[in-house]
Amino acid sequence: MDKWLIKVLMNKLRLMSVFVQVVECGSISKAADKLDVSKSVVSTALKQLEQELDTTLLKRTTRKQTLTSAGERFYTKCAQMSAIAESAWIEASSSLQEPKGRLTVTAPHALMKSIVLPSLAAKFKDHPQVSLNLIADDKHVDIIQEDVDLAIRIGSSKSSNLKQRKLGEFVDRLCIADTNNTDVQSSSYIAQHWQSEPITHELEVNCQSETIHFPIAHRANTVFDVVSLIETGLGIGLVPDFILNEHKNLTAISDARPTKVNPIYVLHPYQAHVPLVVTLAIEAIEKTIDDRFSSS
């Protein structure tokens, strides 16, 4: 729709709205008071409307006004339009006070289960008008293409179309089951799907730092599967520190140096007027990260 058509449409809607007020208020002067404009503005709008329709809508005397047959039919349609517009306006603006609608959130499996899911469940359990759509995926979901409201990711994005902010950070620790007394260097390595060979870790050996190469013996596509395999005593593997704290039968290998710091970012596609439900979701997730990681 080009600018000229938009301008014509907006002018028609304006004239129709003025007409509704004139009918419902009972006079031009009362309609002018309600619209906070001069009587001449309302009178001119009504005259323009009748000219464009080429029909008389109102019969006016000094004492009263009555609708013509054409005016009655036109008013019915205009009043319906006005009611729909008012309802749409109220519904849209009410979302600024009360969260509502579908909220689609994507995050890696580790962050979804341990951070995102409990945060959002607690935040919106008393808001039945909010519908959660949670997507756990270690691969980056296309936020725009998949109509995602919020993405929690490890690392930032280079996209200029997304707003992003750092929420916290964590490190992966090389872990082993408490009951496993096997020498670390001879342990089977359980890799996550994103880890590729060669896998190396810095270990303290005889008071010296050495780079140890581990062949992949087993592989799993989620961190929770890796944790389960480690707990059985099958081998060693990387576990985020915030998940390690939840599993008391796992222990971080003290001789292994922590891996690099992993920053956690929140991303969303809203350049302005961020929906209330999105703002509240970010606040809830950030609070959980602050509480959990500060006690790590």
Q: Per the confidence metrics, is the pTM higher than 0.75?
A: no
Final residue belonging to a domain, choices 95, 121, 143: 95
Residues 49 and 108 occupy one common structural domain: no
Residues 15 and 83 occupy one common structural domain: yes
Section 205-212 average pLDDT: 78
Final residue belonging to a domain, choices 40, 73, 95: 95
> pLDDT tier at 11 (50, 70, 90 boundaries)?
confident
Residues 219 and 183 occupy one common structural domain: yes
> pLDDT tier at 295 (50, 70, 90 boundaries)?
low
Give the DSSP letter string of the chain: --HHHHHHHHHHHHHHHHHHHHHHHSSHHHHHHHHTS-HHHHHHHHHHHHHHHTS--EEE-SS-EEE-HHHHHHHHHHHHHHHHHHHHHHHHHHTTTS--EEEEEEE-HHHIIIIIHHHHHHHHTT-TTEEEEEEE-SSPP-TTTTT-SEEEEES----TTSEEEEEEEEEEEEEEETT--S-GGGSPEEEETT--SSEEEEEEETTEEEEEEE-EEEEESSHHHHHHHHHTTS-BEEEEHHHHTT-TTEEE-TTBPP--EEEEEEEE--SSS--HHHHHHHHHHHHHHHHHHHT-
Residues 141 and 273 occupy one common structural domain: yes
Least confident of 177-181, 226-230, 265-269: 177-181
Query: What's the CATH number where 277 sits?
Result: 3.40.190.10
pLDDT reading at 85 higher than 90: no
> pLDDT tier at 7 (50, 70, 90 boundaries)?
confident
Section 220-233 average pLDDT: 94
| Containing structural domain, residue 280 | 101-164+266-294
pLDDT reading at 89 higher than 80: no
pLDDT reading at 96 higher than 80: no
pLDDT reading at 1 higher than 60: no
Q: Angle at Cα 267 formed by Cα 265 and Cα 222, nearest 5°?
A: 60
pLDDT reading at 2 higher than 80: no
pLDDT reading at 97 higher than 80: no
Distance CA(78)–CA(19), nearest Å, equals 8
Distance CA(201)–CA(204), nearest Å, equals 10
Please state the domain count of the chain: 3
Residues 154 and 282 occupy one common structural domain: yes
Task: Please give the pLDDT value at position 94.
Answer: 59
